[in-house]
Structure 1
Amino acid sequence: MQFNRGDKDDKFLLNLYRRLLYPRMVEDKMLKLLRQGRIGKWFSGIGQEAIAVGSTLAMQSDEYILPMHRNLGVFTSRDIPLKKLMAQWQGKITGFTKGRDRSFHFGTQEYKIIGMISHLGPQMALADGIALADVLANKQHATLVYTGEGATSEGDFHEAVNVAAVWNLPVIFLIENNGYGLSTPKSEQFRCKNLVDKAIGYGVEGIQIDGNNILEVYNTINQLTMEIRKDPRPVLVECLTFRMRGHEEASGTKYVPQELFDEWEKKDPLSNYEAYLIEQGVLTSDSIVDIKIQVKRDIELEVEEAFNEDEPIANADQEQADMYFPYQQDVVQPSQTSSTEKRYLDAITDGLDLAMQKYPNLVLMGQDIADYGGAFKITDGFTAKYGKSRVRNTPICESAIVGAGLGLSINGYKAVVEMQFADFVTVGFNQIVNNLAKTHYRWGEMADVVVRMPTGAGTGAGPFHSQSNEAWFTKTPGLKIVYPAFPEDAKGLLLASIEDPNPVLYFEHKYLYRSLTAPVPDGYYTTEIGKAVRLAEGSKFAIITYGLGVHWALDYLKQYPESDATLIDLRTLQPWDKEAVNAAVKVTGRVLILHEDTLTNGFGAELSAWIGEHCFSYLDAPVMRCASLDTAIPMSKVLEEDFLAKARLAETIDKLLKY
């Protein structure tokens, strides 16, 4: 192994050695504790420390790093106290996640480190968003994100690198190629000779380096960061290395040929650098012993202190509250007394326009939303007004764009992400339910992202452009779900959603875009999230619904004016207005839950269960549901009309009243 110290003095080289030694000795301690049964799991990075240490020290302290679970050297090189890390690993209340998540699955704004989730790859899109925020804020910063060779097969890798390339984002994508994804060798992971060759396909620079040579790692990353701070662009760096332990200790290493261990043991990053420093006169055998004695003493002390930290105390109310960033909505009433007739679609445009004016740090992202104005022309004219830096066309990569939204939020921005159709959210599902929804619960960070979801049937668009998929998300703690039925609410709830620092899925019904017109208050105002509205009052029965179902119900009541029904428009599905539902049940004793989604496991099932559990004594008949058929949505107008719940509304109400 050839080291090149260049102009680095002895003090720098010695500091590098201490930084490299420390995570190795921490790992030695962890392996002993594992054998003693004092800890239950460990992911070892022995043999790979030079990558984490060298690259981290090449970054400025205020630049974000997004590591993986084998990058202990990132955390120690950012000077996070071992006691704090140990508390995290042991699930102590003083850990970064208060016992809610494991190992390195956390972030910390204090140290500018954003950890991974167990799904390989999503952190790369967050790096895009973080870097985008720096570019928009005119900060000359770089962002460093790690991934393994196995994760380069993930769609998240492709999407993140491609977005960074298209947008010229100052991101270093660092691949730790240690030869194995758990037990699967690289020969079964990809066919290209070198992973760095993937850079060619994205039109970005690619560099392959010896990941076990700490000076080569440091010098390479240091040079790249200096360049991309001034000339933003992504770079792909492949670090060749080897994992000397198993994927995690329980998996062992029997699947790895012994000759590989023999070969890579000779390339050990610590022993080779140590020998070089002795040769350079920076270290002696005696000084090495002294350093190790001191490091061991420090490690022992902090580890034992961490073991004595308090365990979490279970508090169900606190656990549920911490799913969301603390926020109390201050409802903004219309400042003007005037109103204007607006289509449902135009009310959404008005809301976005006002939000862009109110929040200079708000970024809109989506396919075709810039000059084209979006598939439904909701953002038509926005680029002329706000520029393409804030109204951003995206490649077709929903996962990366949702992840970039979270990255923007982490770095001080707000994001609104448009799904061209709500159906397409499936390819961004992981980022929504596992990153947006869980981020605050896990490590206290807000996820200030709104995902716009053009939803619903009625336009003959078939199985992949018509689904009502709100129930996929209403069961996911950490998300807020709004679903306006009228232009006034469409504007007010959208502005409320953008104000809210929590992740909000905003469902907007495509059928209503141009078919529904109503007065909308002028100027800026918000509608309360979690508050239903009573649209009709009666005593015979109650209809509880939302979205297009509201208009079906109104049509029914207009057709049958003698119905004497209470009509509740929920407007928000998470949280939903239990008080309004409870009051409606008390008054009527009979309840019909109506929604466009399919019957089985639709959101109505949750409403029905809650009413049965909490309002049983007021019921004069079973709670009944009217929903769409349990099939995919057909394209034919005749078939679609029969599919939709509206086709069975009158007969279901008749059945309810006759019970």
Structure 2
Amino acid sequence: MDFVSTGLSAEELIDLYTEIVRPRMIEEKMLVLLRQGRISKWFSGIGQEAIAVGVTKALDADEYIMPLHRNLGVFTARQVPFAQLFKQWQGSQNGFSKGRERSFHFGTNEYHICGMISHLGPQLALADGVALAHKLSKEDKVCVAFSGDGGTSEGDFHEALNVAAVWGLPVIFIIENNGYGLSTPVNEQYACEQLADRAAGYGMKGLTIDGNNILEVYNTIKDARTYCITEQKPVLIECMTFRMRGHEEASGVKYVPKELFDIWGKKDPVSNFEAYLLRENVLTPKAIEQIRESIRHEIESGIAEGFAEPVIVPDTQYELNDIYKPGDEAPVAAGGQRTEMKMIQAISDALRIAMERYPKLVLMGQDIAEYGGAFKVTEGFTDAFGKDRVRNTPICESAIVGAALGLSLKGYKSMMEMQFADFVTVGFNQIVNNLAKIYYRWGQNADVVVRMPTGGGVGAGPFHSQSNEAWFVHTPGLKVVYPSNPEDAKGLLLASLADPNPVMFFEHKALYRSISGSVPDGYYTVEIGKAKKVQEGSDMSIITYGAGVHWALDYAAKHTDLSLEILDLRSLLPLDYDAIRETVAHTGKVLILHEDTLTGGIGGELSAWITENCFQLLDAPVLRCASLDTPVPFSVELEQNFLAKSRLGETIEKLMAY
């Protein structure tokens, strides 16, 4: 192993040695504790320390890193106190995630480390968002994201690298090629000679280096950092290494040929670097022992502090209250002049006002720049706000949701437009596992609004007409908003953009240009989580939202013999249970109407809540009126039969018969 220390002082070399020894010694201690049954699980990075340490030491302390399971050296080289790391691993209340996350699934903004999720690939897109924030703020900074060889097979890897290349983002993508994805060898994962060869296909620079040589890693990252900042381009660096232990300790290493351990054992990054420093008289055996003794003391005292932590006493209300970051903007009432607008104009007006109000708000989506989006919501926005803030994206929903979350790490707001709500499936993982959970996991909020043009009735067929709001209502950490009219659409969208939490904002396509109304000029907000009584009535209550509000109003207008109360939920998560209870108490009969299919729709949840909490107020069973349990058909006649509207009358008659 050839070490090149040109330009590095003895002090810097000793510092690198200290930092590569620290994770090795911690791991050796953790393995002892694991065998003793004092800790529950461990992902070992023994043999790979040079990559995490070399990368981290080559960066500025305020440059974000997205590490993975085997990157303990990132945390230790950023001087994260070992005692707090140990508390995190033990599930202590005083760990970084308050006992809610395991091992390395956490982040810390204090040390500019972003916590991973088990799905691996999505981390890379977050780095795109952080790097975009650097670019927009004109900061000479980079972001670094780690991937294993196995993770390079995921679609998120391709999407993140493509976005970084197309947008010219200062990102360093690190591949730790250790030969195996759990037990699957690399010859069963990819067919190219080296993973770095893929870089050319994205139009970026790619390098393959010795990942066990800490000086080669350190110098390569230093040069890559300068390149990324100067050229405003990404780099892909493949670090060749080997995993000396199992994927995690329980999996073992029986699937690995024994001779590989002999070969790679001779390439050990710690012992080889130590021997080099001894040969160069940078270190002496006495100095090495002093360094190791200091680390031993740090480890033992941290373990003692961690084991002394009290067992968590669960507080249910505290857990429920810690799902969302509290907002710091008070509701703003509407006032002044009003203008007649179609619903799509109200949404566009809200976005324009928000762009003026929040200089760090970035809009992203397919064709939203000069073209103005599929529905022309952002038409003219590039002239007003520029292409830096109104960004066309490649067709890669997952990467753009991830980039939006990455922007949040740097204090930016973002709005991502799904061209159709149906396409959200391609970004589903990022939404339900990254956006939704990140604040609960380690206190980092996702200041992201995902706009969702949704619904049928426009003859668009199975892939452009789905109502999929129930998927997200089931996900703690998200907010789900669904307006039915222009005034609410503007106020709720402005409230969503002000909210520091992730909001799924549903907009019914059939209402875009068919519904008009008087809309207050200027800035105002409609509180998320508050329903609105659209019409008073005494015979029965129709609880609904979106297009269902207009179906109910149309029916009521044609059947004046019935006194129908109509409650527009407006927000589906959180729900306004007070308003729901009030309308149940007022009429005693409840029909829940929604365009979504019947099975698994939000109507089932509402019916269950009313039955459990308002049973004594009911004069009849709660009935649901929903669309058929089929995909949305294309034919006009079939689609009309599919929609809940076609069965509204018979359901009302059935309920009134009780």
Measure, in 2, the Cα distance between the counterparts of 1:288 and 1:79. Answer: 20
Find the aligned partners of 2:291 and 2:383 in 1 and give their Cα distance.
62
Counting only pairs closer than 5 Å after superposition, residues 505-584 of structure 1 correspond to structure 2 as: 505-584=504-583
State the TM-score, normalized to the length of structure 1: 0.99
For the residues of structure 2 that align with 1:73 and 1:634, how far apart are their CA atoms?
54
- Report Cα offsets for 1:112-133 as digits up to 9, x if no partner: 0002101121111000001101
Counterpart Cα distance in 1 of 2:260 and 2:217: 22
Indicate the residue corresponding to 2:112 in structure 1: 112
Q: Distance in 2 between matches of 1:292 and 1:590?
A: 74
Does the 8 Å contact 1:94/1:310 carry over to 2?
Answer: no
Mapped to 2, the partners of 1:308 and 1:49 lie a distance apart of 29
Residue pair 2:22, 2:295 contacting (<8 A) in 1 also: yes
Say which SS state the counterpart of residue 110 (structure 2) adopts.
Answer: coil
Partner of 1:458: 457
Code of the aligned partner of 1:212: N
Tell me the CA shift for residue 569 of structure 1: 0.5
Q: Which string of whole-angstrom CA distances, capped at 9 and with x for unpartnered residues, describes residues 194-224 of structure 1?
A: 0000101100000111000000000000111
> Helix, strand or coil: the match of 2:641?
helix
Secondary structure at 1:303's aligned position in 2? helix
- Inter-partner Cα distance in structure 2 for 1:620 and 1:285: 86
- The equivalent residue for 1:243 is 243
Task: Report the alpha carbon displacement of residue 329 of structure 1 after superposing the two structures with TM.
Answer: 5.5
Distance 2:486 2:141 in 1: 42
TM-score (norm 2): 0.99
**Counterpart residue number, 1:54:** 54
What is the CA distance between 1:303 and its match in structure 2?
Answer: 1.2
Q: Does 1:446 align with 2:449?
A: no
- 1:411 paired to 2:413: no
What are the superposed Cα offsets for residues 316-347 of structure 1, whole Å, 9 maximum, x if unpaired? Answer: 111011111122662211242x1111111111
Deviation, 1:231, is 2.4
Q: Aligned residue for 1:376?
A: 375
The answer to whether the Cα contact below 8 Å between 2:543 and 2:590 also exists between their aligned partners in 1 is: yes
**1:283-312 CA distances to partner (integer Å, 9 max, x unpaired)?**
222332332223212211111111112232
Q: Deviations over 1:37-61 (max 9, x none)?
A: 0001000000000000011000001
Match of 2:64 in 1: 64
Q: Counterparts of 2:549 and 2:644 in 1: how far apart (Å)?
A: 12
Q: Which amino acid letter does the alignment assign opposite residue 566 of structure 1?
A: E
Distance 2:419 2:141 in 1: 32
- 3-state SS, counterpart of residue 561 of structure 1: coil
Q: What residue is the counterpart of 2:190 in the other structure?
A: 190
Structure 1 position 264 matched with structure 2 position 264: yes
| 1:70-469 equivalence runs, <5 A | 70-327=70-327, 330-336=330-336, 338-469=337-468
SS in 2 for 1:113: coil
Q: What is the distance in 2 between the residues matched to 1:650 and 1:9?
A: 83
- Equivalent position SS for 1:110: helix
Q: How far apart are the structure 2 equivalents of 1:43 and 1:603?
A: 40
Is the 8 Å Cα contact of residues 628 and 643 (structure 2) preserved in structure 1?
A: yes
CA distance in 2, matches of 1:466, 1:283: 68
Letter in 2 for 1:441: Y
SS at match of 1:563: coil
Superposed CA deviations along residues 505-550 of structure 1, whole A, max 9, x for unmatched, are: 0000000111111111111111111111111111110000000000
Partner-residue secondary structure (3-state), 2:299: helix
Aligned-partner Cα distance in 1 for 2:134–2:367: 24
Q: Give the corresponding residue for 2:38.
A: 38
Q: Contact 2:483/2:546 (CA < 8 Å) preserved in 1?
A: yes
SS of the equivalent of 2:561 reads: helix
Distance 2:335 2:518 in 1: 15
Q: Measure, in 1, the Cα distance between the counterparts of 2:53 and 2:23.
A: 9
Q: Which amino acid aligns with 1:401?
A: I
Gaps of 5+ in 2: none
- Aligned-partner residue type, residue 471 of structure 1: A
Which range is displaced more, 487-496 or 309-318? 309-318
Amino acid at match of 2:299: I
Q: Tell me, in whole angstroms, the C-alpha distance in 2 between the residues paired with 1:436 and 1:21.
A: 35
| 1:562 aligned counterpart, secondary structure | coil
More displaced 10-residue stretch of structure 1: 259-268 or 306-315: 306-315
CA contact (8 A) 1:329 1:528 kept: no
Counterparts of 2:329 and 2:590, CA distance in 1:
30
1:335 & 1:638 partners in 2: Cα distance? 44
| Contact 2:534 2:568 (C-alpha < 8 Å) held by counterparts | yes
Contact 2:82/2:298 (CA < 8 Å) preserved in 1?
Answer: no
Q: How far 1:313 sits from its partner (Å)?
A: 1.8
- Aligned partners of 1:310, 1:443: CA distance in 2, in Å? 20
- 329 and 12 in structure 1: CA distance in 2 versus 1, 3 angstrom threshold: closer
One-letter amino acid matched to 2:99:
G
Deviations along 1:617-652, one digit per CA (max 9) or x if unpaired, are: 011100000000011100000000000000000000
Q: Which amino acid aligns with 1:221?
A: I
1:615-626 correspondence runs (5 A): 615-626=614-625
Q: What amino acid sits opposite 1:129 in the alignment?
A: G
* CA distance in 1: counterparts of 2:269 and 2:333, whole angstroms: 63
Once residues 293 and 546 of structure 1 are traced to their aligned partners in structure 2, the CA distance between those partners, rounded to angstroms, is 66
Amino acid of the structure 1 residue aligned with 2:486 = P
The answer to whether the Cα contact below 8 Å between 1:149 and 1:176 also exists between their aligned partners in 2 is yes
Distance across 1 between alignment mates of 2:127 and 2:294: 36
Query: Separation in 2 of the partners of 1:60 and 1:231?
Result: 18
* Deviation (angstroms), 1:87: 0.3
CA RMSD of aligned residues (A): 0.8
> How far does residue 68 in structure 1 lie from its aligned partner after superposition?
0.5
| Percentage of identical aligned residues | 63
In the alignment, which residue of structure 2 is the partner of 1:494? 493
- Shift of the alpha carbon at 1:232? 1.3
> Which secondary structure state, in structure 1, belongs to the residue aligned with residue 56 of structure 2?
helix
CA distance, structure 1, for counterparts of residue 7 and residue 389 of structure 2: 43
* Letter matched to residue 303 of structure 2: V
Aligned with 1:494: secondary structure?
Answer: helix
TM superposition outliers: structure 1 runs of 4+ over 4 Å: none
Asked if the contact 2:246–2:253 (Cα under 8 Å) also holds between the matched residues in 1, the reply is: yes
Q: Does 1:627 align with 2:647?
A: no
Q: Matched residues in 2 for 1:290 and 1:532: separation? A: 66
Render the CA deviation track for 1:244-293: whole Å, top value 9, x for unaligned: 00000000000000111110001000011011001100122233233222
Tell me the alpha carbon deviations over residues 582-610 of structure 1, each in whole angstroms, 9 at most, x when there is no partner. Answer: 11111111000000000111001111000
d(CA) in 2 for partners of 1:330, 1:10: 56
Q: Unpaired segments of 5 or more residues in structure 1? A: none
How many Å apart are 1:424 and its aligned residue?
0.2
